Amino acid sequence: MTGAAEPLLALQGVTGGYGETVVVEGIDLALAPGESLAVLGRNGTGKTSLLRLVMGLADLHRGGISFAGDDISRRPVHARNRAGLGFVPQEREIFASLTVQENLAVAGRVGSGGDWSADRVYAMFPRLAERRANRGNQLSGGEQQMLAIGRALMGDPRLLLLDEPSEGLAPVIVEELERAIGALRDEGGLAVILVEQHTRFALDFAPRAIVLDRGRIVFDGESGALRDPEVLQRHMGLAQ
């Protein structure tokens, strides 16, 4: 055992996509336990696909993915969940006909004795506590996002993958999310990969960032460097 020096997540030469189509190419990435990483890039550069490859929701063509020292490259999604990977998809995918409380309950691991409970989720998102008896389809976009994050946390992840949580939300709700996600980061222990179009949110959240361009990493370093608009534009291209 290499102990603390061992990365929580390691991608080596990861190339993959959907069927024969290659969307992400030659990704080398290591994330330490408890580390936060922002993933930036223009639309369609493969950010979502990178998360999906980590979760086993896209096709890995070449390379390897290890998590907590185990090779998970060929493991199905549920096994990756069980190993400690939590995914909050862009579409949120909460159960529309179940209440907030039921959505959280079905996501919890029976008898896991883990760190997360519905009460802890409610303490993090008081708005959800007020809505606990409301069905998924009766929630605002912001509440749905909070519930999607709460559901992922109920699985007691060691790594949380967040795909554009601020998308389509009002600025005041984005601020609420930022505070909650920031508190999670500050508690330590949980590693987070945040994909965001909202550059300031992403750079404020994570001390380290990568930029993807056409499926490849074109920047991997301190987020601070990308606060310079010229540097950001050089890596992101003209669209930003």
Close Cβ partners of 192 (under 8 Å, ≥ 6 residues apart): 36, 37, 159, 160, 161, 162, 181, 184, 185, 205, 206
Residue 208 neighbours by CB distance under 10 Å:
15
Rounded to whole angstroms, the Cα distance separating 174 from 141 reads 11
User: Of 3, 5, 43, 186, which lies in the binding site for ligand ATP, with binding defined by CB under 6 A?
Assistant: 43
Indicate if the alpha-carbon torsion angle 22, 25, 26, 29 is positive or negative.
negative
Q: Give the interface segment with ligand ATP, choosing from 37-45, 71-79, 104-112, 170-178 (CB under 6 A).
A: 37-45
Considering the rule CB under 6 A, would residue 165 count as an interface residue with ligand ATP?
no
Rounded to whole angstroms, the Cα distance separating 179 from 119 reads 18
- Closest contact distance (angstroms) between CB of 49 and ligand ATP is 3
Encoded tokens for 148: 């999607």
User: Of 35, 47, 152, 153, which lies in the binding site for ligand ATP, with binding defined by CB under 6 A?
Assistant: 47
- Closest contact distance (angstroms) between CB of 218 and ligand ATP is 13
Considering the rule CB under 6 A, would residue 23 count as an interface residue with ligand ATP?
yes
User: Of 21, 137, 138, 233, which lies in the binding site for ligand ATP, with binding defined by CB under 6 A?
Assistant: 21
- Closest contact distance (angstroms) between CB of 6 and ligand ATP is 28
- Closest contact distance (angstroms) between CB of 146 and ligand ATP is 20
- Closest contact distance (angstroms) between CB of 169 and ligand ATP is 15
Indicate if the alpha-carbon torsion angle 124, 160, 189, 185 is positive or negative.
negative
Considering the rule CB under 6 A, would residue 44 count as an interface residue with ligand ATP?
yes
Close Cβ partners of 14 (under 8 Å, ≥ 6 residues apart): 24, 26, 27, 28, 29, 50, 53, 60, 62, 63, 64, 65
Residues between 103 and 162 with contacts to ligand ATP, criterion CB under 6 A: none
Considering the rule CB under 6 A, would residue 199 count as an interface residue with ligand ATP?
no
Binding site residues, ligand ATP, CB under 6 A: 18, 21, 23, 41, 43-49
